Structure 1
Amino acid sequence: MCMCMWGCAQNLVDGTVNGLLGLGIDDLSVPSILARKGLGSNSFSMCFGADHEHGRITFGDTGSSDQKEAPFTIYQSNFYNINIYQITVGSNVSELDFSAIFDSGTTYTYLKDPAYTFISMSFDSQVKEYRSDSQSTGFEYCYNSSNFPEISLKLQGGNEYVVTNPVEPGNDQGIYCLAISKIDSGDNIIGQNFMTGYHIVFNREKKVIGWKASDCEYI
C-alpha cells in the first residue's frame, strides 16, 4: 500500500508543491489547517504493515510517550529531513554524516554514495548465499536467501532506527533483493520500504519524527 505524500502533487497559488494530500511541512498543509481550526494537533502519523498490504494515516496523532524521536533538519520548505550520522549493517559500522528525506510517498529507498556503497557492499559481504542473476528487479543485490544482516541507522539525537525489512521479493520464486537504489544527485530518500513495521509520527509542533514498532492493526 503506498500513500502519496510527495509523488503526486498539485500546484498551489504561489507555484509551490504541497503533495496530493497536502502533507508538506509548510503552513498550507492539511495538518496545519486542521490545527488552526482547533480540530487536532499539528501532527500526523502513518503506519505501514510489514506485509505491505495495509496501512493508515491519522491526522492530529502525536504518538506515544515511549516512541523514539529525532528532530527535523529543515533544508527545504516541503520536506521532512533527518540527519543520519551512523549506519550499521550486521557487524559493519560506518560513521557517516548526511541527511535524508523521510518520504512515505516513495515506495523504495534511494541513496547517494558513500551511504549506498557502504550499505550494499556490507550487506553483500555478510550474505552467505551467492548473488542471484535474477533480471528486471531494478535492484543490484538479489539473493536466493531469506537470511540477511540487520540494517540500522543512528539519527540525530542518538536514537537507533532499525530497518525491519530492507528486502523485497524478486521476480523469481525464492529471490529477495536489497530494496535500495543508487542515485548520483538530488536528495537521499528514506522510502516506504524502510518504514514498514512502524507507526511513524510527523510531529510538526515539536519538529520531530517519532517511530514505534507496530503491526498497524490497532492504532
Structure 2
Amino acid sequence: MLGATCCGSHVIAYNALLCLPVTIIPWCSNILGASIVQDKDLSEYSPSLSSSSKNLSCSHLLCESSSYCKGPNDPCPYIIEYDSDNTSTSGYLVEDKLHLKSFSGHSEESSVQAPVVIGCGRKQSGGYLDGAAPDGLMGLGPGNISVPSLLAQAGLIQNSFSICLDENGSGRIYFGDKGLATQQSTPFLPIGGKYEKYFVRVEHLCVGSSCLVKSGFSALVDSGTSFTYLPPEIYDKVVLEFDKQVNARRISNQEDFWKYCYNVSSQEPFKIPSMRLKFAMNQSFDIHNHIYSYTGNEGFTIFCLTVLRGKDDFGIIGQNFMTGHDIVFDRENLKLGWSHSSCQDVNDKSSVHLAPPPSGESPIPLPTNEQQSTNNTRAVTPAVAGRASTNPSAASSLQIPNLLCLMASLLILRCLL
C-alpha cells in the first residue's frame, strides 16, 4: 500500500463524484459537486519551494508538445483540451519525487522517493473553474508518463495496480498489486493494434436470471467515470428487462439524472433485479452498486437504475459497477482481474511491495533522451463538479474518446509558480 506526499503537502486526486486523497492510507469519499472543497485544507504545489523539482526540457523524450517550444532547453509545455464543458488545462511539465511507503505482509514498511512527471497547471477553464479537481488528477493510464508506468519503468513495482472501492464510498489504490490467485480475469483488447486504453469484451449482460441475447459489447474500464454507459442498443434491452422484472411503480421526473426511477413506500414489498457481466471462459462479474436510492416526500423511497445510454458502439464500465470489487489492472499480462472485496483487509495485499534502492544509492531516474520513446496518449478528462455528462463522447470506437480521469496519462496539479 502506497502513500504520497509532495513538497510537504498531500497530493490529492479528485474525480467527479469520487474524492480520492492519495495519502498514507488512500481513502475515497463520495461527495457531490463543489462541496468537495469546503472541508479540505488544500495546498497548491509550488515547484520553486521544492528542492527536488526541475523542469522537463523540450528536448526530453517525454515532451510531446515540443512543437510549441522556442528552444530545446525551454520547459516542456502541455496543453489538454477535453470533450465536454469547454474544459482545458495547460502549463509545464515538472519532474519531482513522490515520497511513497510500501506495504508487505511479510516485512516491515519501507519508503522510497519515486520520480514522477507532474503537469504543473497554470491555466484552467470550464469544469476546473467550477470546483472540479481542486488539487489535481492522478494519471493511471497505460501511457509512459502515468504514475504506475513511471514506477514500473523505474523498477520500483510490478507493472500492475489495483483499485478497490467499497460500498460505503471509500477505498484504496495499491501500486504493484497483481491481485489474488483466485481472482477472475479477462484480457485487455488492443485498439488499432495498441494497448493504449483499458478495453475489455463483455459477452453478455444479465439482468436477474436472464442473460440477454446479443448483449455483447466492448467496454472501456475507467475508474474516472462515475457511472456506467452502455451502447444504445444494449441499453435499450437492459432497461426494458430491468423494468419488466421490477415490481414497483416507475415515475417520470425531468430532474432525475437517470431515466428509470421507481417510487415505493416502506410498506410495499419490492424487488430490485440483480445485474452481472459475463466474460469469455464463463468469467462472471457481479454488480453490487447499480441502484441509487433516496427518500422522497411523505416517507416514499425513490430508487433509480444508475446506467446511462451512451452514443457509441462501446460501453464504459464506471465506478458504480466497480464497487465492491478489487479491480486489478495487470498491464504486464494485459488483463483485467477482479475479486469481491470489502476493501478493508490489507493483509491480503502481501504481494504489494515497493522496492527501495540499495542503501546509499539514489532512486532510479526517469527515462533519458537516449532511451527509446514509444507513442503515448495524453487523453485525460477532468472531474466535473455536480452531475456527470450524459454524452461520454462523440467519437467512434476507432477514435477513442477523452474520457479518462483517474485513468489519465499525467499527474496534473494546480501550481504556484
Q: Note the 1:1-219 alignment, pairs <5 A.
A: 2=18, 13-14=63-64, 20-52=137-169, 54-75=170-191, 77-95=195-213, 96-145=215-264, 147-170=271-294, 172=296, 174-185=301-312, 187-219=314-346
Deviations 1:136-185 (A, max 9, x none): 22101011356311111111343011111211124735111000111223
Is the partner of 1:175 in helix, strand or coil? strand
Task: Note if contact 1:72-1:81 (Cα within 8 Å) is conserved in structure 2.
Answer: yes
| Larger Cα-atom Rg | 2
Q: Which runs of 4+ in 1 moved over 3 A?
A: 15-20
Q: For the structure 1 residues 3 and 208, does the alpha-carbon distance in structure 2 shift closer, same or farther, using more than 3 Å as the test?
A: farther
**Alpha-carbon distance in structure 2 between the residues aligned to 1:135 and 1:113:** 20
Letter in 1 for 2:312: S
1:74 CA drift (Å): 2.4
Q: Deviations over 1:44-73 (max 9, x none)?
A: 110101122x11111111111011111101
Which is further off, 70-79 or 13-22?
13-22
Identity of matched residues, %: 37
How many Å apart are 1:13 and its aligned residue?
Answer: 3.2
1:184 is aligned with what amino acid?
K
Structure 1: state its 5+ residue gaps. 5-11
1:29, distance to aligned residue in structure 2 (A): 2.3
Native 8 Å contact 2:261 2:305 kept in 1: yes
Q: What do you get for the CA RMSD once the two structures are aligned?
A: 2.4
Shift of 1:92: 2.2
Q: Are the structure 2 counterparts of residues 101 and 62 from structure 1 closer, same or farther at C-alpha, using a change threshold of 3 Å?
A: same
Say whether the 8 Å CA contact 2:291–2:304 is kept in structure 1.
yes
Q: Give the letter for the 1:2 counterpart.
A: L
The alpha-carbon deviation at position 84 of structure 1 amounts to: 0.7
CA distance in 1, matches of 2:313, 2:236: 16
Corresponding residue SS for 2:206: strand
Match of 2:83 in 1: none
CA distance, structure 1, for counterparts of residue 199 and residue 337 of structure 2: 13
- Cα distance, 1:87 vs structure 2: 1.4
The answer for unaligned runs of 5 or more in structure 2 is: 1-16, 21-61, 66-78, 81-118, 120-135, 265-269, 347-417
CA distance in 2, matches of 1:26, 1:186: 24
CA distance in 1, matches of 2:344, 2:250: 35
Amino acid of the residue matched to residue 107 of structure 1? S
> CA 1:175–1:34 in 2, change beyond 3 Å: closer, same or farther?
same
Q: CA deviation at 1:14?
A: 2.2
Change beyond 3 A, Cα 1:184–1:134: same
Q: Which moved more, 1:36-45 or 1:25-34?
A: 25-34
